[in-house]
Chain A
Amino acid sequence: MSIVSIDLAPLQRADRWRVAEWAFWLLPVLGYFVFPDNLVLLTQIAITALFCLSLDLILGYAGIVSLGHAAFFGLGAYTAGLLASHGWGEPLSGLAVAALASGVLGFITSLLVLRGADLTRLMVTLGVAMMLFELANKLTFITGGVDGLQGIEMKPIFGTFGFDMVGKTAYWYSMVVLFLMFWAARKLVHSPFGLSIKGIRLNVARMPALGAPVNARLAAIYTIGAAYAGVAGALMAQTTQFVALDVLSFNRSAELLLILVLGGSGSLYGAMLGTIVFMAAHHVLSDMNPEYWQFWLGAMLMLIVLFARDGVMGGLRTAAARLVPRKLAAP
């Protein structure tokens, strides 16, 4: 019998940080110095990127389609906002409580979402978000309704870094939270749990035959995704010190799906890049033509879906594969 040992290095190195990744995470530092006048926009990008990351976990990795992910974003925003407007202005614990609230809602709704196939899931997620939207709309005495939730006053982070008018603190706060949560998500997708989630997306019928409890795994990732979205919403409430009713809107859920498809799902970085491209395009296009900017956005989306599968991330991968011969790229 010949002994051909398998080189296990590619698998063992799969989770190593690459140079391009380190370079990517220098962007927040770069952005701070290059666009000092646009910190508010960059903060919004970071928050949306975190929100998009949460959708990537459930859609890109686990394959659960959702048209109502704003439910968790909105709940997180209202939770953090309400805490702060009632005197609990400490930001970090606010994030934690928001994550918990959205996570609990995620877990409860996962029991409904997991019952059906894709179309059912779209409708159930949509329905949950619609119900929350109308609740927030109706319960004016709690949420402020269409006028939005006001009177949010944040205490300094760690009791030291107060939220300033230019948005420097908000900027670094959001970037650090995004990075830490990205880091944790990256850990997650490279773990055995992450592999099993991918397995479920790739072949849901096979997983039980391997001994995997599919529904429990899906409930877990859906709960985690919901908690992530809750943190993003909470960041939004804390950094803008305001919660508008549209945090729960259908538009927000749909736009998020668009961003993820644009960036490329199932790679974490696709969510990041999609958000950057989308928000930058939004900014530039709506500057040029405030009323019709969505026209170009629609065109861009169609081109990507039809001709560049896996979005921006897929395009970059193809480009990298052409530039660098395969053997060099995969050591």
Chain B
Amino acid sequence: MSPYALQTKGLVKKFGGFVATNDVTLNVQAGARHALIGPNGAGKTTLINLLTGFLEPTAGQVILNDDDVTQLAQHQRVKRGLARTFQINRLFAELTVLESVVLAVNERLGLGARFFKPVGAHTQAVQEAAELLHTLRLADVAHEQTRSLAYGKQRLIEIALALAAKPKVLLLDEPAAGVPTSESRELFASIAALPRDVTILLIEHDMDLVFRFADQISVLVSGALLTQGTPDQIANDPKVKEVYLGETVHG
């Protein structure tokens, strides 16, 4: 067994003549807090979409816990422990917060096709959803409609839905995007508090957050992997400084 929770081998994605992902071989260690950075348009979200199965790669493989999952559909990869959040909220506007999370927990427990007993009678799922809301400090809005909540709270629901899958590998696509700084710290406190056996791959633009949170950083430029290393190595890498961080690097 390899020490990696998530790997890609020679991953390529072309949209017509445009190469969005160019021969990416990425290794994410089990239990890592791994950040993926790169300038706008570097192909970070495309890479996430390839990892989750939202997009089909032109070539290459995606390997999850030593299994090749390249041919598996999104929902099958989720069942194998790969969950994600979205850069732009994808929530259930008309459902309450609790209903949304129960919906997600149901899918993990394999209850999603049960059609007779009411939702509320599946006690284990409801309890688990309630606990999750509690952990993320969403308990007081459990019965509010999702659409009525402030954006920062909605970002937390985004994470709650991913966590409900009890992922082994969690992909966070700019979790703090659009969240005020004060709230983003709280948000990252929640993320940092996740158990260490959950491997996290994070896309984030806020370098402060990245360097505080990550223990490994990969740099993506124009669809290709430029380099990978510890935060210190990345901060002092002249190539990275040149193409991406410029002179503003600190940390």
Binding site for B on A (CB under 8 A): 4-8, 10-15, 187-188, 190-196, 198-199, 202-203, 205-214, 216-217, 220
Contact = CB atoms under 8 A, between A and B. Distances in A.
Contacts of A205: 90
Interface residues of B, number: 52
A188 B115 contact: yes
A210 to B, nearest CB: 5
A214 B75 contact: yes
Interface string B182-193: 000000000000
Contact of B126 (A12, A15, A196): A12
Contact of B90 (A11, A187, A194, A209): A209
Contact of B75 (A4, A15, A208): A208
B113 A217 contact: yes
Q: Which of B83, B100, B161, B162 has the most CB of A within 10 A?
A: B100
B139 A191 contact: no
A194 B122 CA distance: 14
B106 A195 contact: yes
Interface stretch (B91-99, B206-214, B225-233): B91-99
Interface core residue of A6, A11, A205, A211 (most chain B CB under 10 Å): A211
Contacts, number: 143
Nearest to B120: A12
Interface in B126-143: 126, 130, 133-134, 139-140, 142-143
A321 to B, nearest CB: 14
Given A188-B115, A202-B93, A4 B108 contact: no
A191 B119 contact: yes
A206 B112 contact: no
Nearest to B100: A199
Given A198-B95, A220-B113, 4 more contacts: A15-B118, A192-B114, A195-B102, A202-B94
A192 B164 contact: no
Nearest to B85: A209
Nearest to A9: B120
Counting from the closest, the 10 A-B pairs by CB-CB distance are: A12-B120, A211-B78, A208-B74, A15-B118, A193-B115, A206-B90, A211-B107, A202-B92, A190-B118, A208-B75
A208 B73 CA distance: 8
B161 A206 contact: yes
A203 B112 contact: no
Contact of B142 (A6, A12, A213): A6
Contacts of B113: 192-193, 196, 216-217, 220
Given A6-B142, A11-B102, A195-B102, A209 B121 contact: no
Nearest to A206: B90
Contacts of A11: 96, 98-99, 102, 119-120, 126, 143
Contacts of A196: 103, 106-107, 112-113
Contacts of A187: 115-116, 118
A15 B96 CA distance: 15
Nearest to B115: A193
Nearest to B113: A193
Contact of B112 (A10, A13, A192): A192
Contact of A193 (B75, B98, B112, B161): B112
